Amino acid sequence: VSLFTAVTSSVYSLQTYILEVVKEQEGHYHGGVYEASAMDLEKVVPHEKVKSTVMLQNLGYAKVEGIKNDYKPYIYVGAMGEGFSETMPVHVTSGRLPENSKEILLPEHLGDNGGLRYKEGEVLSLSLGQRVYEGEQAYQNMALLVGEELTDLQVRTYKVVGFYERPSFERQDAPGYTALTMPDGAGPDSFQAYFQIEPMKDTYTFMEASFPNTSITY
């Protein structure tokens, strides 16, 4: 009995540890979408199966001179909604998280992979716009498209307050290095959203039914 109890406890401890590692590296969510409007989300969030939701507003892309990766020429800026940095893998390596919409957190691989390096305290002005290809908008789940353009450009100025590890919610083929700021109540009606569904086994059917025409991640 003692041996059985010890083995059972060890297996449970290992499972718990693996689960915590996955949460730390991938984020504590069951399903997510790369693009949804506020109205889309308002129809879904009150659902009894949705345990929690965190959002990242798609503020846009800036093409920045000096980036050396031809397949990743943009800085993509997302505004973190409440609870985003706790639920998703935002691991600060130096500095701190942004506290308002005038501050920005940059990913380390902008320097390591893109060859573009900034310092904490530096002021960064970005002409943010939306990716458009053949009349359709493109998002972070779509690789760089030949002939795409940036439209509706607006200049936003940020102070660099820190750096963080490349996040798992940025796909390997994403064309933008994901920088994070805070919302200011303005900007595009476009959001990434990540959900915890209860029971978790219903995640696939719930997400497919709720977002039938949107790219979904699990």
Instruction: Take residue 15 and report the two structure tokens written for it.
Output: 């499972």
Give me the pLDDT at residue 17, please: 43
User: In angstroms, how far is the first alpha carbon of the chain from the final one?
Assistant: 39
Q: Per-residue pLDDT tens for 118-169?
A: 999 999 999 999 999 999 999 999 999 999 999 999 999 999 999 999 999 9
Buried b (16+ CB within 10 A) or exposed e, 14-35: eeeeeeeeeeeeebbbbbbbbb
Calculate what percentage of the chain has a pLDDT beyond 70. Answer: 88
DSSP code per residue over 27-91: -S-SEEEEEE-HHHHHHHTTSTTEEEEEEEEEEEEEE-TT---TT--EEEEEEE-TTHHHHTT--
Give me the pLDDT at residue 12, please: 45
pTM across the whole model: 0.88
Give me the pLDDT at residue 199, please: 94
